[in-house]
Amino acid sequence: MPVTAYADQKCYGDIIVFQRFDDQAIYPYFAPVSNDKTKKSEVRNKTIIIQKRKQKQHEFLAQKKNEEVHTKEEKKNSENKKQLDAAIAKEILENGEKKWMVQVALASNQNKANRIQSQLEAKGYKVVTSSTTKGIRVMIDPANDYAIAQIIREKIIADNSLNMQSAWVFKWASLTPQ
């Protein structure tokens, strides 16, 4: 069997091109794809996919951690505000200007409170309302003296057109500007 000598051999990816010494013809040879290249390609693709997954996981965890930090800060700020409000309220109650109020009703809803308020305002009283956990307080504007508050209380109870059989006097320090 004669051995053919080749003048030139070039490789283009999976195609190898040969050229003989004795003629000018080019003979392509298609190299079979080796399993090693396929395996390397699969491994490289899996590695890229794993890297992308890890990156997404890191981004997700960073975002989750950031949200937790913001939630903790908001809770802390909310608790600090509550503590500050409580301290201010305590200061006002202990050292603030206290007046005597005459509470005429504790309405279960705003409509009832508005009806009582308009009824009292029609008689010339200045009415103040305050929301509580039990309802809405309906009170007559504060008096500086306990005796004056008692007189207002008795006057309201005595007025049959108002139909308010009970009213009571207590010390009041408003936590909001009136």
Q: What structural domains does the chain harbor? A: 98-172 (3.30.70.1070)
Predicted local confidence at residue 114, as pLDDT? 93
Tell me the pTM: 0.44
| Residue 178 banded pLDDT, cuts 50, 70, 90 | very low
Single-letter amino acid code for the residue at 4: T
- Asked if the model's pLDDT at residue 133 lies above 70, the reply is yes
Q: What confidence tens digit (pLDDT) does each residue in 115-132 have?
A: 999 999 998 888 888 888
Up-side HSE of residue 10: CA atoms within 13 Å toward CB?
Answer: 5
Query: Percentage of residues in the chain with pLDDT exceeding 90?
Result: 7
More confident residue, 48 or 88: 48
Q: Tell me the mean pLDDT in the region 83-109.
A: 75
Q: How far apart are the first and last CA of the chain?
A: 117
CA–CA distance, 149 with 171 (Å, rounded to integer): 10
